[in-house]
Amino acid sequence: MATRDLADSPLVRRLADWDDTRLASLADEYDTPLYVTDLDRVKANYRRFSAAFPDAHVMYAAKAHTGRSVLEALLSVGADIECAAWGELQRSIDAGADPNTLQYTAVNPPDHDLDYAVDLAEEAPGLTITIGATDTLDRLAERGYDGRIAIRINPGIGTGHHEKVATGSDAKFGIPYEQVPAVADRVREEFELVGIHSHAGSGVLTDDLEEHCRAIERVGEMARRVGSLEFVDIGGGFGVPYHEDEPPLDLEKTAEMVRDAIGEIDAQLKLEPGRYIVADAGLILTAVNTIKETPSATVVGVDASLATLIRPAMFGSYHPMRNISAPNRQPEPVTVGGPVCTSADVFATDRPIARPEREDVLAIGNAGSYGYELASQFHSQPRPAEVALEDGEARIVRRRETLDDVTRVEQ
């Protein structure tokens, strides 16, 4: 990316940086709730991250947002794709990815996933399968696979914004650290050992970097013990600020700390950002339908719900909110919730927002990562539409579901 282009691309896109008038017109044209994804921002984020690690191979972790338009946008700027399930492999191929460039990170993979990956590798021997259990090696051998393998390490150090994403210290993920050399010997006997992999956690910001780099140091140490590797993959996990007063990740400092932590390795360094690439490139538009004054709170009811965005209910996550219909009204503390019949269906509690009124449209920011991916049809709610912005144009990239879509699989 040209220096001028990087300078024009801020390190973080705050919710207030979006054009309220444009967003209001999208809500009017396409109805609400509505996901909006800025593909130009997606591409800029990938380019900025890649520029900070010029000697590394930067892949995109598809699980953050597997929408075809996002995958196509990233492939157009040279990204390769890391996948965590067979469906992500197929969707990446459908979007135009060369299967020989894909990396499949198998976590307790169902039989169908392994069957698919092994069949794919017969046609695309460049596919890399990352294993986190010797059981997976046994199951691959039973299927006649002898191709490219990366070993996922459990470094014993977890980082990130929530305990549920601190994968580096969770026994579910990766080979226990001291078992890795023996597993590497086995892989070399039966397969082609090409790399080691680790992922310490998700949502890492500057304050988390020292702990994150402690995990990376252990990966570097293991890479030197195992030796003769094509790549060393330290995963993703790099975060974006969700709170308005949080500073963005200092990429130059991050890159310097990562290089120091990994140390000298005779292998290609790989990284797999997901959230960093798409989080601030997406938001949700939702319409106000209810204003209820109570002794304890002013409750604002909207048409989005935890079925639209589950992160606040699942992780207690903060997402910025803005009244795009009347951003200059006097802010008032309000509690914003959806139509789902549970107290968990709340996006904000006592949050100062420009005083909402019925039919106003609110924007929920930083919804581009693990937003639509975790959306559901709870309460028989059809999932929302998604609009993509690119080169000044808006287009539907995912139509709004109907009740027929919800019930289609019933017999």
Q: Has 181 been labeled as part of a binding site? A: no
Q: Has 158 been labeled as part of a binding site? A: no
- Residue 385: helix, strand or coil by DSSP? strand
Kind and range of the H or E element at 194? strand 192-197
Q: Has 365 been labeled as part of a binding site? A: no
Kind and range of the H or E element at 287? strand 282-293
In one letter, which amino acid is 288? V
Q: Do the beta carbons of residue 48 and residue 6 sit within 8 Å? A: yes
Q: Has 275 been labeled as part of a binding site? A: yes
Q: Do the beta carbons of residue 92 and residue 68 sit within 8 Å? A: no
**Cα separation, 56 vs 276, whole angstroms:** 16
What value, to the nearest 5°, has the Cα angle with vertex 78 and ends 369 and 392?
65
DSSP per-residue letters across 112-151: HHHHHHHHHHHH-TT-EEEESSHHHHHHHHHTT--SEEEE
How many angstroms separate the first and last alpha carbons of the chain?
52
Confirm whether 83 is a catalytic residue: no
Cis status of the peptide bond prior to 33, with omega within 30 of 0: yes
Catalytic residue among 293, 341, 359, 409: 341
DSSP per-residue letters across 306-362: TTT--HHHHH-----EEESSSTTSPEEEEEEE-SSSSTT-EEEEEEEEE---TT-EE
Q: Do the beta carbons of residue 315 and residue 162 sit within 8 Å? A: yes
Number of other CB atoms surrounding residue 222 within 10 Å? 22
Residue whose token pair is 């929408």:
67
Structure tokens at 148: 């490219």
Q: Has 235 been labeled as part of a binding site? A: no
Q: Has 318 been labeled as part of a binding site? A: no
Q: Has 30 been labeled as part of a binding site? A: no
In one letter, which amino acid is 236? G
Point out which residues pair with 34 in neighbouring strands.
285, 385
**Residue ranges at the known binding site:** 237, 272-275, 311, 370
Q: Give me the active site residues, please.
A: 341
**Residue ranges at the known binding site for substrate:** 275, 311, 370
**Residue ranges at the known binding site for pyridoxal 5'-phosphate:** 237, 272-275, 370
